[in-house]
């Protein structure tokens, strides 16, 4: 029985103009966006490899580059805007990355801000979710206004079978469209010779598709619920579109705006004052040692080492202030995210960015790796200069690597978001179910 209903529903969807238009639009945008992003990734990858080869820096100023993420082809996230170069000296542990030009090129890059990116995540978040709304808004309401609901229920079919059949068919169509869009995008990636996907990347892509599925299912459940609740299809569509605007546009927006104004962040003056205060206890000694080393020509190993140590200490102290500031920014971001806990779009974004390694989590992991490298390897190298100059001259710049996140970690980190999405869908399905059982079908 359910099979019959599911079959009819699926056929009905396949024949409808909304599905055909929606699928074509989705496919075209997904393919074009992925193709553009692949080109963009290729250029960034080339720049990155060339930079590592050619712009090596020296033993004192060590240059570290951040590789572009391969999955940014599907989920741009912040990968493009977070910078790609860090320059380490005894005096500085960078708290942010810059462009290849360093701070000099940074400000003009902003002229381009305001242009976002279109990627697979966008296709899911905006295009497919709209398509889901369009597919499901009249699932029940139209049958009622056409009289077919009465005709169907005049048969020995339990009501919940009818809803279940509709739900299953709708889900099959939604997930089918998602599958087609993601397969097209991923295939396009795979045929590129310069894109090599590791096993973990494939796992992450699967996770990404699963997160997309959860997100779309939540929207489907919402649409089904409204469709059961509201009798006139056009009213149902209006309500759903308005809910969509709230959930995808307005609510996340307000969340960010509230979070941004919730905490008071220290200004640049305050930050530099804090940095000074942190180094205050050593200031006098530092001045003395510096004067001795630089101006009085005291090149004894003790003075040299002490000068170096104090320099390192100063950068460490100011890095701590930077870190604290960074933590405040993170707290602000978390607040924005938590305020938007009920927006499926925000939950989906968090999951997608995590899986694609293009969110702030990955960036912070990189920056932590950088700080650790400075502390353990870079300082060790510089120390040699004062302890054993010959060894220093022979020594190589130690290689930088930072621990990449395992897929399982990303998976565990996104469990809350996934659970909330599941719970949302479940509640909405149950509500739709209850409303349908009680529905007046006259």
Partner 1 sequence: MSKQNLILKADDLSKRYEDGVLALDHLNLEVRAGEVYCLLGANCAGKTTAINLFLNFIPPTTGTCYINGIDVTKDPLEAKKYVAFVSENVMLYGNFTARQNLDFFAKLGGKTALSKDAYYQVMRRVSLQEKAFEQRVKTFSKGMRQKLGISIAIIKDAPAILLDEPTSGLDPKAAEEFLEILQELKSEGKAIFMSTHDIFRAKEIGDRVGIMKEGRLVLERTREELQFEDLIKIYIDYMKSEPLTA
Partner 2 sequence: MKTIIKRELLDHLQSIQFIVLLVFSITLFSANGIIFAKKFRQVDSTFQQRTAGSQPHPDTQIIFLFRQSNPYLFLAEGGDLDRPSAYFLMAKGYFSASSAFLSRDYKLPDIPKLDWSFIIKTIFSLYVILLGYAAVSGEKEEGTLRLVLSNPVGRVRFLAGKYIAILCAALVPLLAGCLVSSVILAIVLPQILTFDTVSRILFLLLLSAAYLSLFAFLSLLVSSLIRRSSIALLVLLAVWVVFIVLIPDISGILAQKLAKVPSDYQTAKNLGPFVQKEVWDKINGIQARIDRGELRTEEAVKAEAEKAYESGQEKLRFYEKNYEDSVAQRARLARDLSRLSPIALFQYAADDIALSGIHGEEEFLKNISSYSKIYDAYVMKKTGKLISQSNWMFSSSVKVDGKSIDLHSPQPEAYRGDMSDFPKFVERPARLSEAVRYALGDIAGLLVWNILLAGLAFSMFLRSDVR
Q: Which residues bind partner 1 (CB under 8 A)?
A: 1, 4-5, 8, 11-12, 15-16, 145-148, 150-158, 440-442
User: Which pairing describes strands 85-88 and 62-65: parallel, antiparallel, or unpaired?
Assistant: antiparallel
| Min separation Cβ 200 and partner 2, Å | 26
Binding partner selected for residue 155 from partner 2, partner 1, none, CB under the kind-specific 5 to 8 Å limit = partner 1
| Cβ-proximal residues to 387 (8 Å cutoff; 6+ apart), any chain | 301, 305
Cβ(397)–Cβ(62) below 8 Å: yes
CA of 347: how far to CAs of 71, 136, 147, 258, 366, in Å?
19, 22, 39, 18, 23
Taking CB under 8 A as the criterion, the residue among 3, 15, 113, 440 binding partner 2 is 113
Q: Which of these segments, 122-130, 143-151, 293-301, 401-409, binds partner 2 (CB under 8 A)?
A: 122-130
Give me the phi and psi of 441, to 5 degrees please: -95, 5
Residue closer to partner 2 (CB basis): 115 or 295: 115
**Environment class of 10 (CB within 10 Å of its CB; exposed 0-12, middle 13-18, buried 19+):** middle
Closest by CA to 22, choosing from 252, 221, 247, 216, is 216
List helix spans (H) across 79-197.
103-109, 120-122, 129-136, 141-146, 148-153, 159-190
**Environment class of 55 (CB within 10 Å of its CB; exposed 0-12, middle 13-18, buried 19+):** exposed
| Min separation Cβ 180 and partner 1, Å | 21
Q: Does residue number 40 form part of the binding site for partner 2 (CB under 8 A)? A: yes
Taking CB under 8 A as the criterion, the residue among 14, 273, 329, 430 binding partner 2 is 329
Q: Does residue number 268 form part of the binding site for partner 2 (CB under 8 A)? A: yes
| Min separation Cβ 342 and partner 2, Å | 16
Taking CB under 8 A as the criterion, the residue among 11, 81, 202, 341 binding partner 2 is 81
Give me the phi and psi of 16, to 5 degrees please: -80, 145
Residue closer to partner 2 (CB basis): 126 or 153: 126
Residue closer to partner 1 (CB basis): 4 or 183: 4
**Environment class of 8 (CB within 10 Å of its CB; exposed 0-12, middle 13-18, buried 19+):** middle
Q: Specify which residues 62 forms β-bridges with.
A: 57, 88
Residue closer to partner 1 (CB basis): 159 or 383: 159
Residue closer to partner 1 (CB basis): 16 or 109: 16
Residue closer to partner 2 (CB basis): 172 or 256: 256
Residue closer to partner 1 (CB basis): 18 or 108: 18
DSSP three-state, residue 244 = helix
Residue closer to partner 1 (CB basis): 11 or 412: 11
Q: Specify which residues 85 forms β-bridges with.
A: 65, 98
Binding partner selected for residue 265 from partner 1, partner 2, none, CB under the kind-specific 5 to 8 Å limit = partner 2
| Min separation Cβ 138 and partner 1, Å | 12
**DSSP string over 38-69:** HHHHHHHHHHHHHHHHH--B-SSSEEEEPPPP
Q: Does residue number 273 form part of the binding site for partner 2 (CB under 8 A)? A: no
Binding partner selected for residue 40 from partner 1, partner 2, none, CB under the kind-specific 5 to 8 Å limit = partner 2
| Min separation Cβ 431 and partner 1, Å | 21
Binding partner selected for residue 150 from partner 2, partner 1, none, CB under the kind-specific 5 to 8 Å limit = partner 1
Near partner 2 in 223-262, by CB under 8 A: 233-235, 237-239, 241-242, 245, 249-250, 252-254, 256-257, 259-261
Binding partner selected for residue 130 from partner 2, partner 1, none, CB under the kind-specific 5 to 8 Å limit = partner 2
| Min separation Cβ 155 and partner 2, Å | 28
Residues in the interface with partner 2 (CB under 8 A) total 80
Number of residues that this document lists for the chain: 442
Cβ(321)–Cβ(275) below 8 Å: yes
Near partner 2 in 338-397, by CB under 8 A: 349, 360
Q: Specify which residues 57 forms β-bridges with.
A: 62
Residue closer to partner 2 (CB basis): 193 or 267: 267
Residue closer to partner 2 (CB basis): 209 or 237: 237
Near partner 2 in 411-440, by CB under 8 A: none
Q: Tokens representing 365?
A: 């992991």
**Phi-psi category of 114—alpha, beta or left, where left has phi over 0 and alpha has psi -120 to 50?**
left
Closest by CA to 59, choosing from 90, 13, 99, 95, is 90
Residue identified by tokens 């074009």 is 32
């Amino acid at each position: 029985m359910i099979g019959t209903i599911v079959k009819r529903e699926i056929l009905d969807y396949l024949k409808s103009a909304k599905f055909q238009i929606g699928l074509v639009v989705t496919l075209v945008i997904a393919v074009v966006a992925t193709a553009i992003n692949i080109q963009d990734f290729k250029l960034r990858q080339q720049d990155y490899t060339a930079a590592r080869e050619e712009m090596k820096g020296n033993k004192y100023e060590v240059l570290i580059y951040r590789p572009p993420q391969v999955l940014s082809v599907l989920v741009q996230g912040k990968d493009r805007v977070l910078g790609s170069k860090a320059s380490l000296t005894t005096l500085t542990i960078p708290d942010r990355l810059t462009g290849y030009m360093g701070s000099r090129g940074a400000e003009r890059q902003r002229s381009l801000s305001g242009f976002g990116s279109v990627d697979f995540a966008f296709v899911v978040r905006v295009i497919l979710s709209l398509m889901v709304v369009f597919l499901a808004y009249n699932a029940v309401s139209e049958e009622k206004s056409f009289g077919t609901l009465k005709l169907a229920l005049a048969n020995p079919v339990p009501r919940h079978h009818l809803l279940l059949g509709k739900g299953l068919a709708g889900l099959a169509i939604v997930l089918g469209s998602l599958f087609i869009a993601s397969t097209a995008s991923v295939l396009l990636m795979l045929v590129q010779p310069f894109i090599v996907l590791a096993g973990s990347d494939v796992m992450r892509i699967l996770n990404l598709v699963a997160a997309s599925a959860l997100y779309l299912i939540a929207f489907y459940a919402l649409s089904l619920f409204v469709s059961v609740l509201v009798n006139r299809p056009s009213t149902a569509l209006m309500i759903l579109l308005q809910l969509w605007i709230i959930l995808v546009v307005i609510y996340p927006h307000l969340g960010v705006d509230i979070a941004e104004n919730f905490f008071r962040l220290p200004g640049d003056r305050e930050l530099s004052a804090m940095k000074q205060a942190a180094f205050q206890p050593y200031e006098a000694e530092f001045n003395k040692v510096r004067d001795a080393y630089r101006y009085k020509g005291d090149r004894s190993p003790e003075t040299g080492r002490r000068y170096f140590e104090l320099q390192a200490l100063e950068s460490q102290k100011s890095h701590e202030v930077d870190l604290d500031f960074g933590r405040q920014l993170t707290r602000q971001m978390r607040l924005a995210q938590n305020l938007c806990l009920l927006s499926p779009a925000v939950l989906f974004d968090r999951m997608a960015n995590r899986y694609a390694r293009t969110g702030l989590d990955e960036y912070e992991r990189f920056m932590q790796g950088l700080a650790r490298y400075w502390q353990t390897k870079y300082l060790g190298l510089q120390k040699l200069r004062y302890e054993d100059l010959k060894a220093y001259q022979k020594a190589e710049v130690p290689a930088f690597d930072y621990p990449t996140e395992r897929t399982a970690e990303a998976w565990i980190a996104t469990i809350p978001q996934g659970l909330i999405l599941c719970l949302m869908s479940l509640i909405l399905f149950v509500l739709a179910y209850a409303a349908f059982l009680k529905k007046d079908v006259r």
